[in-house]
A and B are shown apart, each in its own frame.
Chain A
Amino acid sequence: MDQHGSFPVKLYIYDVSRGMARQLSSLMLGRQLDGIWHTAIVVHGKEYFFGGEGINSCSLGGTPLGEPDSIVDLGHTEVPADIFIEYLTSLAESTYRGDKYNLFEHNCNTFSNELAQFLTDKKIPSYITDLPSDILSTPFGQALRPLLDSITINPGGSNITGQR
């Protein structure tokens, strides 16, 4: 039954800290983090991610973050583009509206994870989804939490509380 057309699904992983996390995290947080991960799902020739503005899409590597640091192959999906867009639309109206963004609990990685499961029934690597809890488990993270909560990351464009 795979004849329906098989579309590859990939996960693009970006380090928004540009390597700074790898160098400074053990100093600042007390534990080593290799990066602050932003992810996007790439399918049907476009990159989809969730940011402070809501669900966004762009061409591959089209955000100011440039090319991804790593790419994970999630396999293939049969879901054709139109169904996928429908799905995204419903998500965007409900659980992934722009205002629902939360840096720790409901961020781009949450979205990528959900999309990955929808498309291929696989989850994204756990080191990505564990990141918020890793950070919050440090005293530094806890202290910064109120500030961080107010940040939304918009890799595609304008940032609120400016951060890239």
Chain B
Amino acid sequence: MTRKLTPDASCSIGGVKMADQGAADPGNNNNNKAEASEGTIIKVTVKTPKDKEEIAIAEDASVTQFKEEISRRFKAKQDQLVLIFAGKILKDGDSLSQHGIKDGLTVHLVIKTAHKAGEGASPTASSSTSTQAGTSSTSSPGTEPSPTAGSTGSAPPPTQTPNILTGFGDLSSLSGLGMGSANFMELQQQMQRQLMSNPEMLSQIMENPLVQNMMSNPDLMRQMIMANPQMQQLMERNPEISHMLNNPELMRQTMELARNPAMMQEMMRNQDRALSNLESIPGGYNALRRMYTDIQEPMFSAAREQFGSNPFSALGGNSESGVQPSRTENREPLPNPWGPPNSSNPPESGGSTTGSTSTTGGTNPSVSNPLGINPGSLGNGMFNSPGMQSLLQQISDNPQLMQNMLSAPYMRSMMQSLSQNPELASQVLMNNPLFAGNPQLQDQFRAQLPVFLQQMQNPEALSVMTNPRAMQALMQIQQGLQTLQTEAPGLMPSLMPGGIPGMPTGGIPGMPTGGIPGMPTGGIPGMPTGGIPGIPTGAGMPTENPASSPSSAGTNTAQQQLMQQMLQMFAGGGGGGAGGGATVHAYTGITSFTPA
């Protein structure tokens, strides 16, 4: 007899039942123990990630039949269905009983999204799915919004740019770990967010010659990046990154990119084109997909997490201003780009572009702000003296800023790395436009560099810098010295070695050691009226300095003794302790005392 057991009589040949397959009336949901052993309808739960349904199917049904039923229920095509039971994929040719699917058991279902593009797109939809290459997602701030998943040709660099730069930014993880002052971090983050949403700011920052200088120095970049422990961790796990870092060509190209939004645009366009080509190569799609999940997603999620917005948005904004960045002429003492945001703060620069609280100036490296440039200060190009002065003002008014800034762990590591590598530091400093025209200054500073760096590390010194009253006192001293200088020029040479000019300038701008940024700058303030004007005056000094320094002491013992005492106090015996070795430059801007 031909008894139709199930709609598709594949299991019965000519209606004859196979031994182990039973017959059941379709639609009969009860366990109908008909002739042979089974032949019952079983209720199988089919579970998708999103929901689940109970499906009644004959126990002896085949997978194909099952899928038919499922496609009806779930409104999906049969080819899109992937059934998994006990970790096995159910193929169309199998039967349910083969897999041991019985009544009441659960079968998992995955509905494949239509086509590959769909699959590729789904990661974006499932925004939460992300790969985290170690800590890269946490350290998102540092990167530029250079997001392409990496093209075939230059796969690593653009993709890695964010990773690398984020490596030495690392705001959020710090705040997460509770190491930095939460306040500080928040403010910085705010600033970054603002930055992200304001593309002009970004382009202005990028146009800053200092930034560009820094970025064109691959060694420097590499140093900074490697100094970050998280970056190191990342590198261990991901040898490609270190490979990339070690390849100067790549670094250079990456930095070019980061520096030049227009180029970045172009690059991205090329990459997109290349990517789409890649798709058409056999096996290419998989490679692409791998690339995406391994590289792009962490970036995206990192960036998104940082800014809560489309990382591309800043880029898009940049394209408007995507003109070749032009090197502007030298500006006045630039606040330390990496610096502790506090130092270079918006308020001073007239139109605080950030508009947020003062500290936001701080700028720690962010996605779009790899160097942590303070948009407020840079954006408006306000590096002139009023700015510096108000900067100092601000610092003395708000000791907490300095505190926060200095206590940020990355600051310390930055300083450490700089002090370990005086060449690097000097390089950075030399790049400072301030030094550009003044070789004497440079030499002087270079000589004092190691001590200077040590000073930076000296916690006492740091605490002095955070002490507003101390800072004010220093300011007063400087002002006093300046007055003396004008009143009694003969007296000063001995007391004011080129240190002054060297100091502040060195201290400020390029200084990655920046932590101090505000500091040195602050230190100077009174100095030469905050900057350029002062510098020339100061510069005048250096020439005499070499001569005068050594002799120094000679002229005015009393004053010198006073100076020495002060210096000793500041330097904590480390730097200038003995005989006023000077060091403290940074702070007092007085410095360069050669031992009395």
Contacts and interface: CB of A to CB of B under 8 A. Distances in A.
Interface of A: 1-2, 4, 9, 46, 53-59, 62-64, 75-80, 82-83, 85-98, 117-121, 154, 156-160, 162, 164
B87 A121 contact: yes
A158 B237 contact: no
B328 interface: no
Given A92-B127, A118-B84, A159-B176, 20 more contacts: A54-B129, A56-B132, A57-B293, A59-B238, A78-B84, A85-B293, A86-B111, A87-B49, A89-B122, A89-B125, A92-B128, A93-B49, A117-B108, A119-B87, A157-B135, A158-B138, A158-B172, A158-B176, A162-B176, A162-B178
A96 B431 CA distance: 50
Nearest to A64: B135
Contacts of A120: 86-87
Question: Lowest 7 A-B CB distances belong to which pairs?
Answer: A54-B128, A90-B49, A92-B126, A157-B138, A77-B87, A121-B86, A156-B132
B129 A94 contact: no
Nearest to A100: B128
Interface string B117-156: 0010011011111111111011000000000000000000
B85 A46 contact: no
A156 B234 CA distance: 12
Majority SS of interface residues in chain B? Answer: mixed
Interface of B: 48-50, 82, 84-89, 91, 94, 98-99, 106, 108, 110-113, 119, 122-123, 125-135, 137-138, 172-173, 175-178, 237-238, 293, 301-302, 305
A1 B88 contact: yes
Contacts of A2: 88
Contact of A118 (B108, B125, B301): B108
29 contacts: A1-B91, A2-B88, A53-B128, A54-B127, A55-B126, A56-B128, A56-B129, A56-B131, A56-B132, A57-B129, A57-B293, A58-B132, A58-B134, A62-B132, A85-B293, A86-B110, A87-B108, A87-B110, A90-B110, A90-B111, A90-B126, A92-B126, A92-B128, A93-B125, A117-B108, A120-B87, A157-B137, A157-B172, A162-B177
B110 A92 contact: no
B132 A157 contact: yes
Nearest to B128: A54
B124 to A, nearest CB: 10
Contacts of B128: 53-56, 92, 96-98
